[in-house]
Structure 1
Amino acid sequence: MEDVFIRYFHFLGIIGVGATLTAEHLLLKSEMTVTEMRRIAVIDALYGLSAGIVLLAGLALWFVVGNADYYLGNWIFHLKLGVFVLIGVLSLWPTFFFLKSRKMTGDTIQVPRKMIMAIRLELLLYFLLPLLAVLMARGYGVMG
């Protein structure tokens, strides 16, 4: 029964990451007010919380519920994990920017175009993860 709860939290985290990343993408503009930036900072904190839930539940699936040897011997799993880590690394710049910007004073904050593109890249990479998960579940990627 514990595997049901672990999978449930894994899915909740996945949904949370997708929702908050999409919200950031839709709300982010090249010029924002401090109030808008504070709102995005809260959404980004929820994004980080959701990603943490995905990571912890995923590790529990890997080491507690699943067959660790299967995951270690599957190149698609390694790719999926690498994409997840890359998304996390890409999210650091926007997170630090949001945290810094919410404390600023003044009317507007200029958001760098490259940062908007980084969030779009995160979202694009995020959409690869379900495909990789389905391929893994179907037995693709097993080495040897």
Structure 2
Amino acid sequence: MDEILVRYLHFIGIMTLAATLVAEHLLLAPSLAPAQLRRLARIDAIYGLAALLVLGAGLTLWLGVGKPAVFYSHNWVFHLKLTLFVLLALLSIYPTRFFLKHRNSEAEVAVPKAIVMVVRTELLLLLVIPLLAATMAKGVGLAQ
């Protein structure tokens, strides 16, 4: 039962990551009013909490419940998936800092095009990571 709960939390976290990234992408514009910036900052905070949930549940699945840790530790697909997740987290720093810096702004703020590109890159990574998870679950990448 513990494994099912942890897997469920992992899936909920992944779905929340996807939902918040899509929301950020849809709400981004060349310039943002103060209310829009505050909304994006709140959505980004939910994104951060979801990332922590995914990380915590993922580490629990790797090291605690479910398959033996060696199933993951000796799988290059798992390491690629983990690397992409870390890259996703590192990429998210730039938009987060921008939203936090401007969330209390009283005037419209121009949004750098790089913010949009980073969010799009995050969406692309989030599209690939579950594919890697599905292939890994089928045993692809296991050391023979």
Q: Could you tell me which amino acid in structure 2 is paired with residue 62 of structure 1?
A: W
Distance 1:128 1:143 in 2: 22
TM-score of the superposition, structure 1-length normalised? 0.97
What's 1:85 paired with? 86
Distance 1:78 1:32 in 2: 38
TM-score of the superposition, structure 2-length normalised? 0.97
% same residue:
50
Within a 5 Å distance, the mapping from 1:97-112 to structure 2 comes to: 97-106=98-107, 108-112=108-112
Q: Could you tell me which amino acid in structure 1 is paired with residue 39 of structure 2?
A: R
What's 1:68 paired with? 69
Distance 1:30 1:49 in 2: 26
Q: Secondary structure at the match of 2:63?
A: helix
Q: Secondary structure at the match of 2:139?
A: coil
Q: Could you tell me which amino acid in structure 1 is paired with residue 118 of structure 2?
A: A
Distance 2:23 2:115 in 1: 15
After superposition, give the CA deviation of every residue in 1:38-67 in whole Å (9 maximum; x if it has no partner). 000000000000010000000000011131
What's 1:4 paired with? 4
Q: Could you tell me which amino acid in structure 1 is paired with residue 4 of structure 2?
A: V
What's 2:114 paired with? 114
Distance 1:102 1:21 in 2: 18
What's 2:32 paired with? 32
Q: CA deviation at 1:115?
A: 1.2
Distance 2:22 2:83 in 1: 21
Q: Could you tell me which amino acid in structure 2 is paired with residue 90 of structure 1?
A: L
Q: Secondary structure at the match of 2:32?
A: strand
Q: CA deviation at 1:30?
A: 1.2
Distance 2:23 2:131 in 1: 22
What's 1:133 paired with? 133
Distance 1:24 1:139 in 2: 34
Q: CA deviation at 1:105?
A: 2.0
Q: Could you tell me which amino acid in structure 2 is paired with residue 21 of structure 1?
A: L
Q: Secondary structure at the match of 1:127?
A: helix
Distance 2:44 2:125 in 1: 17
After superposition, give the CA deviation of every residue in 1:10-56 in whole Å (9 maximum; x if it has no partner). 11101100100110011111111011000000000000000100000
